[in-house]
Amino acid sequence: MKKVVIIGGGFAGLNLAKKLSKSTSHQVTLVDQHNYHFFPPLLYQVGTAFIEASNIIYPFRKMFHNQNTRFFMGVLKEVLPEQQKVVTDNGTLDYDILVLAMGTETNFFGNDQIKENALPMKSIDDALRMRNHILLQLEKAVRSDQDVDKKRLSSVVIAGGGPTGVELAGMMAEMGSHIIKKDYPEAKSGLGKIYLVDGLQTLLAPMSDKSQEEAIKVLKNLGVEILLGKLVQNYDGKSVSLSDGTEIEASTLIWASGVIAREVPGLPKEAIGKGRRIIVDAFNQVEGLKGVFAIGDQCLQLSDAAFINGHPQLAQVAIQQGDLLGENLSAVDGGKPMKAFKYNDKGSMAIIAKFKAVVDLPKGFFRGFFAWLVWLFIHIIPIAGFRNKAKLAFNWLWSFITNDPTLRLIIRPDDEVAHKY
């Protein structure tokens, strides 16, 4: 049996593992730094205390019961292509076929001060840290007897006007409208604002003009202050500096302003393209390396005529690439040729607030309540495990009916971070 080692258990790696799960000619090992798969599109709802983290995570070992896939917990340190080995922090693995599907990490664009003080949104740990931080700042705000401190402690700046930034802003604005006054009766006045900042002249830049206009209109109606054509240049933990000289006093900066592919030591320099993405051919094989593939957000494929600058770093691309690579590896074992990857763009969507969403399809656009229902349905389907789907559906139903989810819990390890507060 060929040893297939998949590095990364996100959408791309997991769908590939599922495709090969019943193969009699492949022994699959999935390597990930976490022992669970999680659903990134809903991280912001964990970070804003709307759903619990357990709703969107599922352990790999339970997922792979009665399959030919094994799980290996570790962090990739280096690839040794000539020896067909990968080195991790927990040992070395041999491979016949290596698939890199590690995705991306937050890009702070070399700004160490922002990296030190801002809150990213790329992992379950990030989401829980955000939840704790925001709730702790509100506790400090209501204890303060100075209005200027109340505003600074309760103000939130979100850098990045893409889907994540828009969804975070909408969720926090809803929280401010329905929950803050009930939870914090001491704060009768003086609380701060939510700011959404982007360097472009619009929000949801990859989406249609109608979606962009709807997002701006809904967020403004919710009281979000939208600052376009400006970049966040610095942040010291108390004041956000913008490119036009504006200073915003805020104890929370959420960084949703960009990503960069995870680094893979050991690959040839000529295989690395823009944004540190790995250059692959039409079959997702890394240029110049036989038996080494890259899929999902981490790869840069320039052979698809409809996406000559590379595919967007979206879940659907990762899922489709994982599925096709699984089919191609099985086809090769059966003596059949591989199929070139062509992305089937099914459209994009973003939720803005309660009952408000936008959906762009290849042949049209719609918004409002129906779009919001479609968004909910589409985001429940990929959740791993029937119990998680049911729990998430119930939690959503309860939270939307009551406007009062009960997950505003400050739970943190007893370490130096906790003692800061």
Tell me the C-alpha distance between 354 and 372, whole Å.
8
Tell me the C-alpha distance between 324 and 332, whole Å.
12
| Closest alpha carbon to 138 in 251, 42, 261 | 251
In Å, what is the CA distance from 291 to each residue of 272, 343, 366? 17, 22, 43
The verdict on whether 167 is a catalytic residue reads yes
Tell me the C-alpha distance between 330 and 41, whole Å.
30
Residue 144: both structure tokens together: 């303060």
> Residues 52, 78, 116, 167: which is the catalytic one?
167
Q: What is the dihedral of CA 295, 301, 307, 309, to 10 degrees?
A: 120
Tell me the C-alpha distance between 304 and 30, whole Å.
28
Question: How many CA atoms lie within 13 Å of 280's alpha carbon, on the beta-carbon side?
Answer: 28
Q: Please check whether residue 46 is in contact with residue 124, taking contact to mean a CB–CB distance below 8 angstroms.
A: yes
| Closest alpha carbon to 153 in 64, 251, 249 | 251
What are the CB-based long-range contacts (under 8 Å, 24+) for 135-141?
135/49, 135/408, 135/409, 135/410, 136/410, 136/421, 137/251, 137/252, 138/180, 138/183, 138/184, 139/410, 139/421, 140/251, 140/421, 141/184, 141/187, 141/191, 141/192
SS3 116: helix
| Closest alpha carbon to 131 in 46, 224, 43, 196 | 46
Question: Which residues are annotated as catalytic?
Answer: 167
